[in-house]
Amino acid sequence: MDYLKSLNNSQNEAVNNLEGPMMVIAGAGSGKTRVLTCRIANLIQNNVDPFHILALTFTNKAAKEMKKRIGEIIGDQEARNIWMGTFHSIFARILRKECEKIGYPKNFTIYDTQDSKSLIKTIVKEFHLDDKLYKPGIVYNRISSAKNNLISATAYTKNTDIIADDRMNNRPKLGEIYMEYQKRCFKSHAMDFDDLLFKTNVLLKDHADVLHRYQHKFKYILVDEYQDTNYSQYLIVKRLAALNENLCVVGDDAQSIYAFRGANIQNILNFKKDYPDFKLFKLEQNYRSTKIIVDAANSIISNNTEQIEKKVWTANSEGDKIKVFKAATDNEEGKIVANSIFDNQQREHAKNLDFAILYRTNAQSRSFEESLRKLNIAYKIYGGLSFYQRKEIKDLLSYYRLTANHNDEEALKRVINYPKRGIGKTSLDHAMVAASENGKSLWHILDNPGKYPLAINNGAKSKIKDFIAMIKSFAANLEKLNAYDIAHQIASSCGLLKELYNDKSPEGLSRYENIQELLNGIKEFSDNASDNEVRFLSDFLLDVALLTDADNDKPEDQDKVTLMTIHAAKGLEFPYVYIVGLEENLFPSQLSLNTRVELEEERRLFYVAITRAEKKAFISFASSRYKWGNVIQCEPSRFIEEIDEKYLELSEQKSKAAGQDLPFANSSRFLDKSKKTQTTVQKPIISNHLKKVSNQPGASVNMEKIAEGANVSHARFGKGKVIKLEGSPPNVKATVFFPNVGQKQLLLKFAKLDVID
């Protein structure tokens, strides 16, 4: 078979192992997608029915790419029959068929993050709570975390540890909000993103017939990026694979960086405990990067204790050393990086899209944006507002959602008076109170005005009646017209197209063009239906609801330098990569220095950053930067120290914008003077000078000076008092009360506490 000839020995072994549990540990750039696609093609070539194959990914983009590659090997028809997609899209598809067993109608709506936060904001207001303490984002993340750990609202309110934690953080009502949030979602026939997995677990746990059916259906299961799975995803896969155990998981423990989203690295580390007779395959040849970059990345990740042993290598060229830029300030760091990009473009005839600037937090982008603009280098911020989150798009999609599901309260509130039709906020508030008091949906109250006494004037009642009739007329065509025809009819009839067309401002024109683009997308969706298939509006809504940020972004479309967080960069690659802000308390983050587990995740994040680079990697840090309006002194990140210095080169840059040198502050501390040239030092002496010293600004005092009852100062939390010390050196842990933020537990060797006399 021709497709097997392109594989190396390790890849071939993994592709040809068709039965039983197996784990493929795929180092960065080692061709894991090729292995997954070839293995699926090989299963089908060996007479496995594609309908019996389940392949789970983390982005629709990855699923589509894999399906396309499989189609090229075995034909599009066979590829189309594979159950392949994201966890959320596959299990949303199953829930559509089985949801009535758990009390949901088949036309349930999927709330995106914005919808969920809007509902939470409404509940917080109704509960008369402080919206600064109960910020929608904080509450949403808490609920999301609970669901990903399969903690229901009822279980949440009965868990004494959770209740105590909420009280300590001055949010004792979180459990009640969670309960009300779930009730309101259910009343609106809506599931949020996390519910798609939570409810699937409920379905498989409580309905043995459903579990039995899908265990027999999915005889072969493949999971991409297994290190990124959370507890909820892990349990679904474990249940489905229990019958046949033909489970293939692919991933890289060294690239597990999403703990903050609930990802559990133990899922991949403990795979052998779940499946003792599993087979392990290692893909260790990197096809992406130079030897210098691969070896430097290996020297970084070797400092982690929790990992599956592997040695990534490459047959690629040696490549250039990783240049380390030291700047006096964060603004100067921006100039140095922009100058370097300019130089590399000129020297190597590179395009803007060949370059990426990766940072730990979005707030770091400002200095790089300013410097790139001054050099007239086009750039774009990755992870900006998604097309589907723009107001005009959300407005029209809300009309579509309400047409498909009349009980969708968030969609109803959004469009009932847009374009304006004389239904004011007061009238809507009266109806919402009646809905709450009677346990009915908002739509039900508005559709049955005679049953419920509402303090709404006759004019508003008439307008509401007209609105209800309009939505019902749209719904009458839902199963008669394809997605595009009904979508166009709704856009034209609801008044939204006319409203935007009449706005002749540049912003209005842009919004109108965006609506046209949405309709073009729905047209393409309808036209791409297979033979004898009609794609309805409900199919399109499901498709859109499950898009991820990665699916919405198309970095190849425009010739621009990419600026993005390292978390967002995972899975991408660029010829030239700049990793910026390599300073203690920034990268690694100050919030990740309390435990070894947190620090090791930060190190994996740095490993991911380095391995995005194909030809050249660059590192930069500043001696000082602004934080909350104050200049703080910075010290180089321990991660630079961890790279074997033979892979590093300290480099000075010349500012094209300012026309002057941008020398390193105290650069003589970092340079081997005997080898110094006017512009570049070929073999710098880095390691000794990057070590932390106790007399540097912000360095930690000796641990023995800190005692219980001592008054201390912390760079982030301010002044506080040590309540308790536990453990033995060097792992002494302090419990400190800070008046501004409450009680914190800190590991003294990382916390950098200063004793206040």
Q: Distance between CA 335 and CA 370 in Å, rounded?
A: 8
- Cα–Cα distances (Å) from 43 to 18, 46, 54, 69, in that order, read 7, 5, 12, 15
Q: Which of 37, 44, 43 is nearest to 16 (CA)?
A: 43
Catalytically annotated residue among 11, 32, 78, 553: 32
Tell how far CA 55 is from the center of its chain: 20
Instruction: Convert 319-346 to b/e letters by CB count within 10 Å (16 or more is b).
Output: bebbbbbbbbbbbbbbbbbbbbbbebbe
Q: Which of 479, 457, 476, 480 is nearest to 468 (CA)?
A: 476
Q: Distance between CA 538 and CA 481 in Å, rounded?
A: 11
- Strand ranges inside 580-635, DSSP E: 613-627, 630-633
Catalytically annotated residue among 224, 332, 600, 652: 224
Order of strands across the sheet with 83-86?
83-86, 53-57, 220-223, 247-251, 22-26, 279-283
Catalytic-residue membership of 677: no
- Cα–Cα distances (Å) from 5 to 8, 38, 75, 438, 448, in that order, read 8, 11, 18, 67, 68
**What one-letter code names the amino acid at 424?**
G
Q: Distance between CA 55 and CA 38 in Å, rounded?
A: 13
Q: Distance between CA 556 and CA 83 in Å, rounded?
A: 28
- Residue 535 CB contacts under 8 Å (≥ 6 apart), including other chains: 482, 483, 525, 526, 528, 529
Tell how far CA 361 is from the center of its chain: 13
- Residue 592 CB contacts under 8 Å (≥ 6 apart), including other chains: 598, 599, 601, 602
Q: Distance between CA 331 and CA 622 in Å, rounded?
A: 9
Angle, helices 231-241 vs 208-217, to 10°: value is 70
Catalytic-residue membership of 167: no
Q: What is the dihedral of CA 324, 330, 334, 340, to 10 degrees?
A: -20
Catalytic-residue membership of 225: yes
**What one-letter code names the amino acid at 601?**
E
Q: Distance between CA 508 and CA 497 in Å, rounded?
A: 11
Catalytically annotated residue among 255, 307, 314, 345: 255
Peptide bond into 449 cis (omega under 30): no
Catalytic-residue membership of 224: yes
Catalytic-residue membership of 34: no
- 3-class SS string, 175-202: HHHHHHHHHHHHHCCEEECCHHHHHHHH
- Cα–Cα distances (Å) from 432 to 122, 409, 429, 442, 480, in that order, read 11, 10, 5, 6, 32
For CA atoms 565, 580, 251, 638, give the dihedral sign. negative
Q: Distance between CA 67 and CA 81 in Å, rounded?
A: 10
Catalytic-residue membership of 333: no
Catalytically annotated residue among 323, 535, 612, 638: 612
**What one-letter code names the amino acid at 139?**
V
Catalytically annotated residue among 195, 225, 253, 649: 225
Longest dimension (CA), the chain: 92
Helix (H, G, I), strand (E, B) or coil at 502: helix
DSSP H or E segment with residue 561? strand 561-565
* Spatial contact of 39 and 248, defined as CB atoms under 8 Å apart: yes
Q: Distance between CA 406 and CA 472 in Å, rounded?
A: 9
The residues annotated as belonging to the active site are 32-33, 224-225, 255, 612
